[in-house]
Structure 1
Amino acid sequence: MKKIIIAGGGTGGHIFPALAIANEFKRRDPSVEILFVGANGKMEMEKIPQAGYKIIGIDIAGFNRSSLLKNLTLPFKLVNSFMQVKKIFKSFQPDIAIGVGGYSTFPVLKYAQKLGIPTFIHESNSFAGKSNMMLGKDATKIFVAWENMDRFFPKEKIIVSGNPVRKNIVSSNITKEEALRSFGLEESKRTILVVGGSLGARSINNAMETHMLDINTLNIQLIWQTGKVNSERYISKGRAFSNNVWVGEFIQDMDKAYAAADIVISRAGAMSVSELCVAGKPVVFVPYPFAAEDHQSVNAEYLVKKDAAILVKDEDAQMHLFSTATDLLFDDSKRAAFAQNISKLAVTNASEVIVDDILKIKA
Structure 2
Amino acid sequence: MKVIVSGGGTGGHIYPALALIKEIKKTEPNAEFLYIGTEKGLESTLVKREKIPFKTINITGFKRKLSLDNVKTIIRFFQGVSRSKQLIKEFKPDIVIGTGGYVCGPVVYAAAKLKIATIVHEQNSVPGLTNKFLSKYVDKVAISFKESQSFFPKEKVVYTGNPRATEAAIVAEKDRLTEMGLNRHKKTVLIVGGSRGARPINEAFLNVLKEAATRDYQFLYVTGEVHYDNVMAKVEEQGNPANMRIEPFIHNMPEVLKNVDLIVARAGATTLAEITAIGLPSILIPSPYVTNNHQEKNARALSDHGAAVLKLEKEMSGDILLKEIDNILLNEANWQQMHKAALKQGMPEAGKNMYELMKQLT
Q: TM-score scaled by structure 1?
A: 0.89
Q: Distance in 2 between matches of 1:258 and 1:246?
A: 15
Kindly report which structure 2 residues correspond to 1:323-362, keeping only aligned pairs within 5 A, or say none. Answer: 323-362=323-362
Q: Match for residue 210 of structure 1?
A: 207
Q: Match for residue 122 of structure 2?
A: 123
SS in 2 for 1:165: helix
Distance of aligned partners of 1:232 and 1:174 in 2 relative to their CA distance in 1, 3 Å threshold: same
Distance of aligned partners of 1:26 and 1:192 in 2 relative to their CA distance in 1, 3 Å threshold: same
Q: Match for residue 221 of structure 1?
A: 218
Cα-to-partner distance string for 1:147-193 (whole Å, 9 max, x where unaligned)? 25442211111111111125442124526xx2321222123433210
Distance of aligned partners of 1:236 and 1:8 in 2 relative to their CA distance in 1, 3 Å threshold: farther
CA shift, 1:308, in A, is 1.9
Q: Match for residue 193 of structure 1?
A: 190
CA shift, 1:72, in A, is 6.0
SS in 2 for 1:348: coil
Kindly report which structure 2 residues correspond to 1:105-254, keeping only aligned pairs within 5 A, or say none. Answer: 105-147=104-146, 149-165=148-164, 167-172=166-171, 174=173, 178-234=175-231, 237=234, 241=240, 243-254=242-253
Farther-moved stretch of structure 1 (166-175 vs 26-35) = 166-175
Q: Distance in 1 between matches of 2:68 and 2:147?
A: 37
Unaligned segments of structure 1, at least 5 residues: none
Kindly report which structure 2 residues correspond to 1:35-54, keeping only aligned pairs within 5 A, or say none. Answer: 35-54=34-53
Q: Distance in 2 between matches of 1:315 and 1:69?
A: 35
Kindly report which structure 2 residues correspond to 1:266-281, keeping only aligned pairs within 5 A, or say none. Answer: 266-281=265-280
Q: Percent identity?
A: 31
Which consecutive aligned stretches of 4+ in structure 1 deviate over 6 angstroms post-superposition? Answer: none
Q: Distance in 2 between matches of 1:69 and 1:47?
A: 32
**Paired residue type of 2:357:** D
Distance of aligned partners of 1:305 and 1:256 in 2 relative to their CA distance in 1, 3 Å threshold: same
**Paired residue type of 2:203:** N
Q: Distance in 1 between matches of 2:267 and 2:285?
A: 7
Distance of aligned partners of 1:80 and 1:233 in 2 relative to their CA distance in 1, 3 Å threshold: farther
Q: Distance in 2 between matches of 1:8 and 1:200?
A: 22
Q: Distance in 2 between matches of 1:145 and 1:66?
A: 29
Distance of aligned partners of 1:111 and 1:291 in 2 relative to their CA distance in 1, 3 Å threshold: same
Q: Match for residue 74 of structure 1?
A: 73
SS in 1 for 2:163: coil
Distance of aligned partners of 1:148 and 1:85 in 2 relative to their CA distance in 1, 3 Å threshold: same
Q: Distance in 1 between matches of 2:70 and 2:233?
A: 36
Q: Distance in 1 between matches of 2:149 and 2:216?
A: 49
Instruction: Please say if residues 143 and 159 of structure 1, whose CA atoms lie closer than 8 Å, have aligned partners that are also in contact.
Output: yes
Unaligned segments of structure 2, at least 5 residues: none
Q: Distance in 2 between matches of 1:99 and 1:293?
A: 20
CA RMSD of aligned residues (A): 2.5
Instruction: Please say if residues 98 and 120 of structure 1, whose CA atoms lie closer than 8 Å, have aligned partners that are also in contact.
Output: yes
Instruction: Please say if residues 207 and 322 of structure 1, whose CA atoms lie closer than 8 Å, have aligned partners that are also in contact.
Output: no
CA shift, 1:284, in A, is 0.5
Cα-to-partner distance string for 1:74-101 (whole Å, 9 max, x where unaligned)? 3343344334424422432322210000
Q: Match for residue 2 of structure 2?
A: 3
Q: Distance in 2 between matches of 1:222 and 1:66?
A: 42
Q: Distance in 2 between matches of 1:90 and 1:236?
A: 55
User: Paired residues, what number?
Assistant: 359
Q: Distance in 2 between matches of 1:245 and 1:154?
A: 48
Q: Distance in 1 between matches of 2:259 and 2:344?
A: 21
Cα-to-partner distance string for 1:227-260 (whole Å, 9 max, x where unaligned)? 3543443455567737433333332232332122
Q: Distance in 2 between matches of 1:234 and 1:124?
A: 31
CA shift, 1:214, in A, is 3.2
Q: Distance in 1 between matches of 2:333 and 2:112?
A: 53
Q: TM-score scaled by structure 2?
A: 0.89
Farther-moved stretch of structure 1 (324-333 vs 135-144) = 324-333
Distance of aligned partners of 1:261 and 1:351 in 2 relative to their CA distance in 1, 3 Å threshold: same
